[in-house]
Structure 1
Amino acid sequence: MLWCPDKTKNLATAVKEIHKAKQRGAQLVALPECYKYEHNIDWEEVPSGEACRALSEAAAEAGVCVVGGTLPERDGSALYNTCTVWDSDGSLLARHRKMHLYDIDIPNKVTHRESELVSAGDQITTFVFNGVKIGLGICFDICFPEMVELMAQDGCSLLIFPSDFHMVTGSRYWEALGRTRAFENQLWVALVGPARDPDTEYKSWGHSMLVDPWGTIKAELDENVGTILEDIDFNVVEEVRKQWPVRAQRRTDVYNTVRKSS
C-alpha cells in the first residue's frame, strides 16, 4: 500500500483497497502499520477518531472484517501505537495496544526509542471472526515467544502482525520470526509489511507474507508492492498438531507459560 504525508489521501487509499479486496473475494482485510500517517502526529481517540470512523464505515459497506493496521491513539494523557479491528457490521471487534516498544541502538546503523513517544499496552489481544480465533500483535511483539504462546493457548489458529521493521533488522529477522512463530505454535501467521512512500527513499522492510503451520511461506510480496489474496485452510492447523503433537506432550509439570492478570 502506498503512503504519502497527506492523511486524508491515505485514509481514502485504505478504504479503496478494502473495497478492492472485497471485490476479489476477501472476507478479512489487514492494513499496514502506520498506514494513515506517521505515528508521532495527529493522535486520535478510539473509536471516535477520524481513521476509526473511516474503517468502521468501510468494513460495514464492504461487509468484511478489517484489521486496521495501526494508528496513533490518545487515551487521556497516555499515547499508544494501536491496532483496531472492525467487524463486518462496522462494530469495534478488538483493540490491541503494542506491548513491546522498539528501543534499539545499533552503532552506525539505527537508533530508535519508541518508548520516548508512546506507552506500552498490557493486554494479550484475540478476537473471533467467522468462528476462527485470531491473535493480534504489532511489529516488535512478534519477537517475544511467550506472547505468541499465550495466544496459541487461547485457541488462536491465525496471528496477524502489522509491522514496520527497519531495513537493518527486517532483512535478518522478518522471515525467520514469521516462520518460527508459525511452526513452533502450529498456526497461521500473517506479517503485514509497512506502507511505503514512492517519492522518498524506501527505508522500511516490506515483504508482507503469509506462513502456514508447517512454517512454509504460502505467499509473499516483493517490497510490499501489491496485495496478497490467499485462502487459508484452517484444517491444516489440526493436521499439523496431530502429526507433530508437541502441544499435547508439553511438560507442564516442569514448565509452563502463565498469563498474569493486568
Structure 2
Amino acid sequence: MAAVSIPPPQPNATKYKVALLQLPVSPRKEENIARARARLDAAAAAGATLVVLPARGAPSDGGVLFQEIWNCPYSMETLPSHGEDIDGGASPSVSMLSEVAARRRITIVGGSIPERSSGRLFNTCCVIGPDGQIKAKHRKLHLFEIDIPGDITFRESDTFTAGQEPTIVDTDVGRIGIGICHDIRFPELAMLYRSRGAHLICYPSAFNMSTGQLLWDLMQKSRAVDNQLFVVTCSPARDPNAESDYMIWGHSSLIGPFGEVIATAGHEEATVVGEIDHSMIQTIRENLPLEMQRREDLYSTHWLMSGENLQATRHAPLDQMHNCNEVKMALLPWKLRPA
C-alpha cells in the first residue's frame, strides 16, 4: 500500500529568501539580544522573509553556556536563573523577536533559549509570525545523553525536561517542521514532518568540533534527501579564544531536496542567505516518487493522537490536530513473517 501524505499548503510566494544568523554568544544576555536584533534588521533589509537563529547560549560565571553541549560551564545553580517565562510574557528574547518580526513583517524561527515553566526548564524554539505573535513553540524532544567510561558522562535530562509534542507550523512562507540540535539524529521525526506536508525543517543546533566534523553535513543532507524537502541548520559562531573546552562547529547551512548545499558558512560570525524554491520539491518528487514506492504494508511512521483511532487520524488535516497538542509519534514495528 503506497503512502498518501498531505501536500504542503500553497504559500504566499513560490520562492523566497531565508537568512541564517550564525551569531557569537557572549556571557552578557543583553549584548546577545542587541546583536541578534541588529542582524535581524540587516537580514530583513537584504530581502529575507524567513530568518533563522541558532541554538542560543546563556551566560554563566565560567564562560558561555550552550544548552546543546556536554563539556561546558553547566551549573544546576545558575542555568535556571537564565530561564525565561515565555507563556507568562516575561521573555526579553521573545519580546525582541516579536518586535522585529512585526516591524519588518518577517517570519522568525527564534533559535533555542532556556524556557522556565511550572518549575521545569525546557530547551525551546519559538516561531514568530509577521504579526509579531508566537505561531508555534517547540520544546526539544530528544535530550542528549552520553556515557563513555573514562571519558564523558553527560545527561541533558539532569537539567532539562523533554518536550512532548512534535512541532509543525503553517507560516507565510509555507509549512515548516522544527527540531533542536539532537532532534536531527532521529529520522522518524523528519519523516513525520514530511508526511504532514512540511517543505522545510529547521534545526537550530550547536554541534561541537568532533560531532560536527563527522556528522553535521551527513545528517542534514540525509534528512533532506530522504524526505525530499529543504533543511536548514543554524549554529552559533565559533569563538577560538573562548575559555571553554567546547568549540562550536558552526557551518550553518541551507540544504536543498537533492541534498545540494545551497548556502553555507564557515565557523565565524556570518549571515547566510539562500533562496528556497518550492518548485524544486515538486520536481524531485515527480522524478523520483519515493512516497508512492514506500512499503507501508511492511513498515510505517505515523502521527498518533491520544484516545483516537490511528487509521482515522493519520492523514488528518493540520487544523484538526488541535495545534499538535495531542500529537505523539510512533514508529510501527516491522511485521514478522513465518520462516
Q: Percent identity?
A: 38
Pick aligned residue for 2:202 from 160, 184, 207: 160
Letter paired with 1:16: A
- Out of 228, 244, 256, which is 2:272 matched to? 228
In 2: Cα distance, 1:44 partner to 1:137 partner: 19
Matches of 1:131 and 1:3, distance apart in 2: 28
1:110 to partner: Cα distance: 4.3
TM-score of the pair, normalised by structure 1: 0.95
- Which of structures 1 and 2 has the bigger CA Rg? 2
The residue number in structure 1 matching 2:304 is: 260
Map 1:21-170 onto structure 2 (within 5 A).
21-35=43-57, 37=59, 38=65, 39=67, 40=79, 41-47=81-87, 48=89, 49-106=91-148, 110-170=152-212
Deviations 1:156-209 (A, max 9, x none): 000100001122211111000000110000000001012444641561211101
Cα distance in 1, alignment partners of residues 85 and 256 from structure 2 = 35
Return 41-50 or 79-88, whichever deviates more: 41-50
Structure 1 counterpart of 2:258, from 214, 218, 225:
214
Q: Compute the displacement of 1:224 (Å).
A: 4.3
Residue of structure 2 equivalent to 1:7? 29
Alpha-carbon distance in 2 for matches of 1:233, 1:108: 48
Amino acid at match of 2:84: E
- 1:127-168 per-position Cα deviation (integer Å, ceiling 9, x unaligned): 112251011000000000111100000000001000011222
Q: Structure 1: which 5+ runs fail to align? A: none
Code of the residue aligned with 2:277 in structure 1: it is D
Tell me, yes or no, if the aligned pair for 2:105 and 2:130 is still in contact at 8 Å. Answer: yes
> Is contact 1:33-1:195 (8 Å) kept?
no
Q: Secondary structure at the match of 2:82?
A: coil
Amino acid at match of 2:49: Q
Aligned partner (choices 16, 36, 43) of residue 38 of structure 2: 16
CA offsets per residue over residues 53-103 of structure 1, 9 Å max, x none? 111111111211111101100110221000011101100011000000011
Q: Within 2, Cα distance between the matches of 1:256 and 1:174? A: 26
Cα 1:59–1:35, aligned 2, differ >3 Å: closer, same or farther?
Answer: farther
Give the distance between the partners of 1:231 and 1:61, measured in 2 at CA. 22
For normalisation by structure 2, the TM-score amounts to 0.74
Q: Which runs of 5+ in 2 are unaligned?
A: 1-22, 60-64, 68-78, 306-327, 329-339
Higher RCO (Cα < 8 Å, 6 or more apart): 2
The Cα of 1:6 is off from its aligned counterpart by 0.3
Letter in 2 for 1:46: I
Deviation at 1:10, TM superposition (A): 0.3
Check the 8 A contact 1:2/1:198 in 2, yes or no. no
- Give the Cα–Cα distance (whole angstroms) in 2 for the partners of residues 44 and 31 of structure 1: 17
Q: Is the contact between residue 52 and residue 234 of structure 2 (CA under 8 Å) also seen in structure 1?
A: yes
Distance 1:168 1:35 in 2: 19
What is the rounded CA distance, in whole Å, between the counterparts of 1:198 and 1:167 in structure 2? 11
Residues 81, 191 of structure 1: CA spacing in aligned structure 2 closer, same or farther, 3 A cutoff? same
Would the aligned equivalents of 1:149 and 1:185 in 2 still touch at CA under 8 Å?
Answer: yes
1:113 is displaced (CA, Å) by: 1.7
Classify the secondary structure of the residue corresponding to 1:228: strand
For residue 248 of structure 1, the aligned residue among 258, 276, 292 is 292
Cα deviation for residue 248 of structure 1 reads 1.4
Mapped partners of 1:208, 1:137: distance in 2? 15
* 1: CA distance, partners of 2:148 / 2:261: 29
Change (3 A) 1:36 1:225: same
